[in-house]
């Protein structure tokens, strides 16, 4: 990645810190000291206009006085001086910076003007920077830490990108206690120069990062983000939390980082399309991300449960079932092998339940080895591993009986988990543990330090295992590509030009669809009652007659749709009724399409996003049911098929009540093509194909609504 600025920012050879002083309560000083404490191997130069030394290190009054051109400038200074300092660093030759200072576009018009000035100064020198209004970054493998909190964990393999500085600073102690180890982490702040996409692309290529976690309030370049995530997700898992989808979440995000949040359904569709696992909480980003970064993927959905308590084992099984995993009953052969190892009261079925058992030898050595060696199992969940934590709890009860010190008691209870730590890599199957004891427990601490995730509830452990399988399914997706340029656009341009001049009506909208080879019902546009009768005869009865005019958007509500007409008299009466309602309307005579299943497809646009392609249940209850899925154009065929599979009403797409299965490939083709249409003609604001009826398993568009420049045509 020679052009990615994170290559230098994450591994600079030297750093200048503007804002470091001898006052330990100042943010610049705190971050300067954390940088030194991290063990950064290169020279660090404090900049201060008055101090001669900063904690014993020579300080420099001016940027121009620095003994060398630093690779990285770190600014924790008043906002008013930031643009000038960036100008001076750029003139010196520095090409990368981290700007911690706040007070830019997140504060309003004055701050926005200051951010524009900052960008102008940086661009003049080709300087790229992280921030402003960020909390810095971490590279545990260098090491490098320019956040406000010290690193307390050794290097790991989980990369983190956050639009909140808190999630890579205040959380460092929390992450240590949960056994979560970072590789690289970046707080992007206002993203004035470097954004989520830049960091995502960097972590996607970083060999020390095996999984990527993200906290997102908005995505400023969704098309580029989608492209990057599509490339990365097949070989490196991404898990993300998005919090801008509700009214309050969007409002908070805007005041926090100047974000313009989009609707939740668009982000949900974007994540699914890109192959990103969506997290419900920041805890899931960290802890499921840790599991993804340390464990091999399961080969299938079959999970074994080993527990010393029936309740947690049942909770695990219930969670697995809800999340689409399997907990198969073990074969008699496997049960026989396990039974020979178990105490008499224990169950050898799945779950393998030892009931209450404090001798950890079975739980950490013998039983896991036997279970993971079986070809009946793809993954292993364990609840109840504990040693010194339990010893500390029990010691007051047993101290007089055993007449030994607490330390001796703890040592006697200590489990040897080294073999269990090696099992995932040796068996190529994931192991995840649930325990109610934290790092104060030797076994839990040793497992975490050895790369085995330890969750504090059975349900969380089971959900993490399901996430591993969900990523396995993402990896298994077809490797197709986005559709190339569409030759249909040249055929459609004359239709669009006419509509741009006169507006959209239903016939013109369907002409556009037919230019893109989207199947519509047979129809003829008639100017008079006599022409309509001739059209009906040519199509064949029964027919539908609709009023057709640019002013007629929702025709059913206006009473200008007449169905199942079987005679010339019926057509004539329908034409008369339509002219009573809309004197200027033409008559659209359509074949009657018989279909019991109705779907909707369409396109709408959200500011800053590519066209959003929608699919779901159609008909008059579309808005009431809200059973839809969204993806971004251009769609790959596999993505369109996955979009169709995302709605809950799957029985209506399969063979149902004597009706044939819906041709999903044909439906997917419609979604791909309307996405291309929307990309080819950005002036079209909305496309509504409702309903799409299913005739003999094939989709047919029977009504179409196009909207352009706030005027609706039908």
Same-domain pairing of 227 and 90: yes
- Residues 487-511 have a mean pLDDT of 89
Is residue 195 one of the residues assigned to a domain?
Answer: yes
3-state DSSP percent of the chain in helix, strand and coil, to 5:
40, 20, 40
The residue range of the domain holding 380 is 295-475
Is residue 517 one of the residues assigned to a domain?
Answer: no
Strands 238-242 and 211-216: parallel
Contacts of 150 (CB under 8 A, 6+ apart): 34, 37, 38, 172
Alpha-carbon separation of residue 354 from 313, 333, 357 (angstroms): 10, 19, 6
Is residue 53 one of the residues assigned to a domain?
Answer: yes
Helix axes 222-232, 264-274, angle to 10 degrees: 30
Higher pLDDT, 626 or 413: 413
- Mean pLDDT over the full length of the chain: 92
Secondary structure element (H or E) that encloses residue 667, with its range: helix 664-680
Is residue 354 one of the residues assigned to a domain?
Answer: yes
* Helix ranges, 414-502 (H): 418-427, 442-449, 458-475, 488-502
- Residues 602-630 have a mean pLDDT of 84
pLDDT band at 250 (very low <50, low <70, confident <90, very high): very low
pLDDT value of position 412? 86
Indicate the range of 35-39, 113-117, 624-628 predicted with least confidence.
624-628
Is residue 367 one of the residues assigned to a domain?
Answer: yes
pLDDT band at 254 (very low <50, low <70, confident <90, very high): very low
Indicate the range of 36-45, 245-254, 584-593, 623-632 predicted with least confidence.
245-254
Q: How many helices (H) and strands (E) does the chain have?
A: 27, 30
Phi, psi angles (nearest 5°) of residue 668: -60, -35
270 exposed, middle or buried (CB, 10 Å; 0-12, 13-18, 19+)? buried
Provide the residue count of the chain: 714
**CATH value at residue 648:** 3.30.470.20
**CATH value at residue 172:** 3.40.50.720
Sign (positive or negative) of CA dihedral 293, 295, 301, 307: negative
pLDDT value of position 253? 45
pLDDT band at 251 (very low <50, low <70, confident <90, very high): very low
Give SS3 for 280.
coil
Q: What's the rounded Cα separation, in Å, for the pair 542 and 547?
A: 17
**CATH value at residue 532:** 3.30.1490.20
Whether the pLDDT of residue 219 is over 50: the answer is yes
pLDDT digits 0-9 by tens, 348-403: 999 999 876 667 889 999 999 999 999 999 999 999 999 999 888 988 998 888 88
Q: What's the rounded Cα separation, in Å, for the pair 417 and 368?
A: 11
pLDDT band at 565 (very low <50, low <70, confident <90, very high): very high
Q: What's the rounded Cα separation, in Å, for the pair 211 and 188?
A: 18
Same-domain pairing of 441 and 533: no
Is residue 393 one of the residues assigned to a domain?
Answer: yes
Higher pLDDT, 28 or 712: 28
Same-domain pairing of 118 and 199: yes
Classify 564 in phi/psi space as left (phi over 0), alpha (psi -120 to 50) or beta: left
pLDDT band at 596 (very low <50, low <70, confident <90, very high): confident
pLDDT band at 267 (very low <50, low <70, confident <90, very high): very high
pLDDT band at 259 (very low <50, low <70, confident <90, very high): very low
Whether the pLDDT of residue 252 is over 60: the answer is no
pLDDT value of position 612? 94
Indicate the range of 21-25, 271-275, 469-473, 605-609 predicted with least confidence.
605-609
pLDDT band at 258 (very low <50, low <70, confident <90, very high): very low
Whether the pLDDT of residue 664 is over 60: the answer is yes
Strands 303-307 and 277-278: unpaired
Q: What's the rounded Cα separation, in Å, for the pair 445 and 455?
A: 12
Contacts of 171 (CB under 8 A, 6+ apart): 282, 286
Buried b or exposed e, range 490-525, using 16+ CB within 10 angstroms: eebeebbeebeeebbbbbbbbbbbbbbebebbebbb
How large a percentage of the chain has pLDDT more than 70? 94
Same-domain pairing of 675 and 556: no
Give SS3 for 13.
coil
Same-domain pairing of 207 and 58: yes
pLDDT digits 0-9 by tens, 441-495: 999 999 999 999 999 999 999 999 999 999 999 999 988 877 766 667 788 999 9
Q: What's the rounded Cα separation, in Å, for the pair 534 and 286?
A: 68
Is residue 441 one of the residues assigned to a domain?
Answer: yes
pLDDT band at 657 (very low <50, low <70, confident <90, very high): confident
| DSSP 8-class letter at 365 | I
Same-domain pairing of 117 and 242: yes
526 DSSP β-pair partners: 587
- Residues 96-114 have a mean pLDDT of 95
pLDDT value of position 11? 97
pLDDT band at 3 (very low <50, low <70, confident <90, very high): confident
Sign (positive or negative) of CA dihedral 8, 13, 18, 20: positive
Q: What's the rounded Cα separation, in Å, for the pair 687 and 679?
A: 12
| DSSP 8-class letter at 326 | B
pLDDT digits 0-9 by tens, 669-706: 999 999 999 999 999 999 999 999 999 999 999 999 99
Q: Which of 98, 172, 82 is nearest to 136 (CA)?
A: 98
Same-domain pairing of 668 and 533: no
Copy the structure tokens of residue 333.
């052969």
pLDDT digits 0-9 by tens, 620-648: 666 656 788 999 999 999 999 999 999 99
pLDDT band at 656 (very low <50, low <70, confident <90, very high): confident
pLDDT digits 0-9 by tens, 63-83: 999 999 999 999 999 999 999
- Residues 568-595 have a mean pLDDT of 95
Same-domain pairing of 405 and 438: yes
pLDDT value of position 620? 63
- Residues 302-323 have a mean pLDDT of 96
Q: CB–CB of 701/513 below 8 Å?
A: yes
Domain stops at, among 441, 475, 509: 475
Same-domain pairing of 465 and 534: no
**Strand segments (E) across 26-110:** 44-47, 53-54, 57-58, 72-75, 96-99
Q: What's the rounded Cα separation, in Å, for the pair 415 and 392?
A: 14
**CATH value at residue 459:** 3.40.50.261
pTM, 2 dp: 0.92
Give SS3 for 554.
coil
Q: DSSP of 32-56, one letter per residue?
A: HHHHHHTT--S-EEEE-SS-SEETT
Q: What's the rounded Cα separation, in Å, for the pair 20 and 59?
A: 9
- Residues 333-344 have a mean pLDDT of 91
- Residues 650-671 have a mean pLDDT of 93
Secondary structure element (H or E) that encloses residue 337, with its range: helix 332-339
Please work out, in degrees rounded to the nearest 5, the angle formed at the alpha carbon of residue 666 by the alpha carbons of 660 and 668: 120
pLDDT value of position 627? 83
Alpha-carbon separation of residue 628 from 215, 482, 523, 612, 689 (angstroms): 25, 22, 28, 12, 13
Total structural domains within the chain: 4
pLDDT value of position 403? 84
**Count of C-beta atoms within a 10 Å radius of residue 392:** 16
Is residue 155 one of the residues assigned to a domain?
Answer: no
Q: Which of 80, 195, 77, 182 is nearest to 131 (CA)?
A: 195
pLDDT value of position 623? 62
Domain stops at, among 414, 448, 475: 475
Domain stops at, among 576, 592, 608: 592
Same-domain pairing of 343 and 376: yes
Copy the structure tokens of residue 338.
């396990």
Same-domain pairing of 323 and 440: yes
For residue 195, how many C-alpha atoms fall within 13 Å in the half-sphere facing its CB? 15
Same-domain pairing of 324 and 275: no
Q: What's the rounded Cα separation, in Å, for the pair 274 and 293?
A: 19
Q: CB–CB of 566/503 below 8 Å?
A: no
Secondary structure element (H or E) that encloses residue 138, with its range: strand 137-139
Strands 561-565 and 543-548: antiparallel
């Amino acid at each position: 990645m020679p052009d990615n600025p994170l290559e230098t920012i994450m591994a600079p050879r030297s750093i200048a810190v503007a804002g470091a002083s001898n006052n330990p309560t100042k943010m610049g000083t705190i971050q300067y000291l954390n940088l030194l404490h991290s063990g950064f191997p290169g020279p660090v130069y404090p900049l201060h206009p008055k101090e001669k030394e900063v904690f014993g290190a020579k300080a420099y009054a001016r940027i121009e006085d620095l003994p060398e051109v630093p690779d990285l400038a770190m600014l924790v200074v008043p906002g008013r001086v930031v643009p000038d300092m960036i100008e001076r660093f750029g003139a010196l030759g520095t090409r990368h910076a981290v700007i911690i200072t706040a007070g830019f576009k997140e504060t309003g018009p004055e701050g926005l003007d200051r951010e524009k000035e900052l960008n102008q100064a940086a661009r003049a020198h080709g300087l790229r920077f992280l921030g402003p209004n960020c909390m810095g970054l971490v590279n545990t493998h260098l090491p490098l830490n320019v956040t406000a909190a010290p690193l307390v964990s050794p290097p790991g393999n989980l990369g983190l990108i956050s639009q909140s500085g808190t999630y890579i600073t205040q959380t460092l102690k929390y992450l240590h206690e949960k056994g979560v180890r970072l590789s690289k982490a970046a707080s992007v702040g206002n993203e004035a120069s470097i954004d989520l996409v830049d960091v995502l692309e960097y972590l996607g290529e970083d060999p020390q990062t095996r999984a990527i976690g993200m906290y997102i309030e908005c995505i400023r370049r969704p098309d580029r983000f989608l492209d990057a995530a599509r490339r990365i997700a097949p070989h490196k898992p991404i898990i993300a939390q998005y919090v801008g989808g509700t009214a309050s979440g969007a409002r908070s995000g805007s005041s926090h980082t100047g974000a313009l949040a989009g609707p939740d359904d668009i982000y949900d569709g974007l994540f699914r399309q890109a192959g990103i696992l969506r997290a419900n909480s920041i805890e899931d980003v960290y802890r499921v991300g840790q599991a993804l970064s340390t464990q091999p993927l399961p080969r299938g959905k079959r999970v074994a449960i080993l527990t010393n308590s029936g309740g947690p084992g049942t909770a695990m099984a219930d969670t697995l079932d809800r999340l689409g995993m399997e907990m198969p009953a073990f074969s008699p052969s496997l049960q026989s092998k396990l039974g020979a190892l178990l105490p008499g009261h224990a169950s050898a079925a799945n779950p393998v339940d030892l009931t209450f058992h404090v001798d950890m030898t079975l739980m950490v050595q013998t039983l896991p080895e036997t279970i993971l060696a079986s070809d009946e199992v793809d993954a292993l969940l364990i609840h109840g591993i504990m040693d010194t934590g339990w010893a500390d709890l029990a010691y007051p009860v047993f101290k007089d009986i055993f007449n030994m010190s607490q330390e001796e008691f703890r040592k006697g209870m200590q489990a040897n988990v080294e073999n269990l730590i090696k099992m995932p890599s040796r068996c190529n199957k994931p192991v995840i543990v649930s325990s109610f004891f934290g790092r104060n427990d030797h076994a839990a601490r040793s497992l975490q330090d050895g790369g085995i995730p330890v969750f504090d509830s059975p349900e969380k452990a089971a959900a993490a295992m399901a996430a591993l399988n969900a990523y396995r399914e993402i990896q298994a997706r077809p490797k197709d590509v986005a559709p190339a340029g569409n030759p249909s656009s040249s055929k459609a341009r004359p239709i669009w030009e006419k509509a741009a001049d006169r507006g959209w009506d239903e016939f013109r909208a369907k002409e556009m669809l037919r230019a893109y080879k989207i199947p519509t019902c047979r129809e003829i546009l008639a100017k008079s009652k006599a022409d309509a009768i001739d059209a009906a005869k040519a199509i064949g009865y029964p027919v539908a007659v609709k009023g057709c005019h640019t002013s007629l958007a929702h025709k059913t509500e206006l009473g200008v749709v007449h169905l199942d007409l079987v005679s010339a008299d019926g057509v004539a009466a329908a034409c008369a009724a339509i002219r009573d309602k809309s004197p200027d309307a033409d008559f659209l005579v359509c074949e009657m399409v018989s279909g019991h299943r109705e779907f909707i497809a369409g396109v709408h646009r959200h500011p800053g996003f590519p066209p959003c392609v929608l699919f779901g249940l159609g008909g008059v209850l579309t808005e009431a049911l809200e059973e839809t899925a969204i993806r971004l154009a251009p769609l790959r065929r596999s993505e369109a098929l996955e979009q169709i599979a995302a709605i809950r009403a799957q029985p209506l797409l399969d063979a149902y009540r004597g009706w044939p299965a819906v041709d999903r490939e044909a439906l997917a083709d419609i979604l791909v093509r309307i996405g291309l249409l929307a990309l080819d003609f950005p002036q079209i604001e909305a496309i509504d194909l409702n309903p799409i009826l299913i005739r003999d398993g094939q989709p047919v568009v029977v009504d179409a609504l196009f909207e352009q420049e706030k005027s609706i045509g039908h």
